[in-house]
Amino acid sequence: MVEKSRAEWSTEDKKKKANLDNVAKDILYKTLDVNMFSNIKTCFTAKKIWEKLTQLCEGNDQTKENKLTVAIQKFDNAKMKPGEAMAEFDERFSNIICEHISLGKIYTNHEIALKVMRALPREWDVKTITMRESKDLRKLELYDLFSDLKSYEFELGI
């Protein structure tokens, strides 16, 4: 299918295009909160709205680089807090990983597993050593790792 140039558009084509733009704008409007809407209310086409939202949410290349730097620092500094339950640490750590993914930084299962194990307090050393020796960390998914750790936490009554 070959798309017509703008000069070749009929009145009907123009109406269809305008209607599609209105539908797209309506969808975007309905998904935005009041603060975000105020940032895009001067945009007249769905494409302009989308470009503005992308700029606001993702920023320019420098902003993306800064966000990634901060996210990497969070990853590097992640430690299980004293008194923190494994479920809480799982949620906090998973959020850090999701942030990395959204910024285009992907870690291997092995890197993630080692980081989680290093982030645990000394009381967990026996479990982490056992896991390193008995499991293939390259294939160990984050969900499975935390499931094992939660089971161990339950067994210990921590």
Give residue-wise pLDDT tens across range 121-136: 999 999 999 999 988 8
Residue 1's pLDDT is: 59
Give residue-wise pLDDT tens across range 25-47: 999 989 988 888 899 989 999 99
158: nearest Cα among 121, 103, 110:
121
Question: In the predicted model, what is the mean pLDDT of residues 49-76?
Answer: 88
Write the DSSP string, 39-55: HHTT--SHHHHHHHHHH
Asked if pLDDT for residue 115 goes beyond 90, the answer is yes
Element (H, E) at 64: helix 61-77
The mean pLDDT value of the chain amounts to 90
CA–CA dist 9, 67 (Å, integer): 44
CA distance 6 to 49: 22
Residues in the chain, total: 158
Percent of the chain with pLDDT over 70: 98
Residue 60 binned pLDDT confidence (cut-offs 50, 70, 90): confident
Q: How distant, in Å, are the alpha carbons of 79, 82, 112, 116, 118 from that of 93?
A: 9, 15, 10, 8, 13
Query: pLDDT (tens digit, 9 = 90+) per residue, 11-25?
Result: 888 888 888 888 999
User: What one-letter code names the amino acid at 88?
Assistant: E
